[in-house]
A and B are shown apart, each in its own frame.
Chain A
Amino acid sequence: AQSVTQPDIHITVSEGASLELRCNYSYGATPYLFWYVQSPGQGLQLLLKYFSGDTLVQGIKGFEAEFKRSQSSFNLRKPSVHWSDAAEYFCAVGLTGGGNKLTFGTGTQLKVEL
């Protein structure tokens, strides 16, 4: 069965520290990959996406993610976290011919300590 796993439910980092949020997927083919962020009271915002090509993808707000086919992973990174990055982060995947449908991971709650 298709699945998206975000193994870390909660992560706490200090402001200025680096961040890596993990995402693994289980699909037969290479899916389209996304990272979204959800802040309280706001809708999900797309941080970045991977469809094909360069496996290191740059996104908004200083985020990047790397697609590793051998590990079926698409981890999100940021070299220096800001307090405003505290939010819920969701990894999502879509499949070719899937009619634009996305399957979301369970999310990772990021807390930033000042």
Chain B
Amino acid sequence: GAVVSQHPSRVICKSGTSVKIECRSLDFQATTMFWYRQFPKKSLMLMATSNEGSKATYEQGVEKDKFLINHASLTLSTLTVTSAHPEDSSFYICSASVYDTYEQYFGPGTRLTVT
């Protein structure tokens, strides 16, 4: 149980275009989803927290207009990287959680490359 999927696993896009990444909890309802960014050989950096039906809460330094997060249902959250640039190339990971349990279940990640 507690499986989280991400789609796509890899994406290459051209500079200036937008990319959407989906995160789904397959066998449970996630009240909270988290989006992380992971640089090579680095830890996970929390970008934002999204609760179903409400606006995402972004961490300091994360541009909310560039990284649009939608959490429309208890099983789906999306991250849209708008007007992507090469510096946005990274590994993006989502996780899903049930409120107040503190356990997060992680998706396999999405490798974004902006050319």
Contact = CB atoms under 8 A, between A and B. Distances in A.
A42 B109 CA distance: 7
A75 to B, nearest CB: 18
B60 interface: no
Given A44-B93, A106-B42, A100 B102 contact: yes
B43 A100 contact: no
Given A43-B106, A43-B107, A43-B109, A99 B44 contact: no
Contacts of A45: 106
A90 B43 contact: yes
Secondary structure at chain A's binding surface: helix, strand, loop or mixed? Answer: strand
Interface string A47-71: 0010100000000000000000000
A101 B46 contact: yes
Interface in B42-65: 42-44, 46, 49
B67 interface: no
Interface of B: 4, 6, 32, 34, 41-44, 46, 49, 93, 95, 97, 99-109
30 contacts: A32-B102, A36-B106, A41-B108, A42-B108, A43-B4, A43-B6, A43-B93, A43-B106, A43-B107, A43-B108, A44-B44, A44-B93, A44-B95, A45-B106, A90-B43, A90-B44, A94-B102, A99-B32, A99-B49, A100-B32, A100-B99, A100-B101, A100-B104, A101-B49, A102-B46, A102-B102, A102-B104, A103-B46, A105-B43, A106-B43
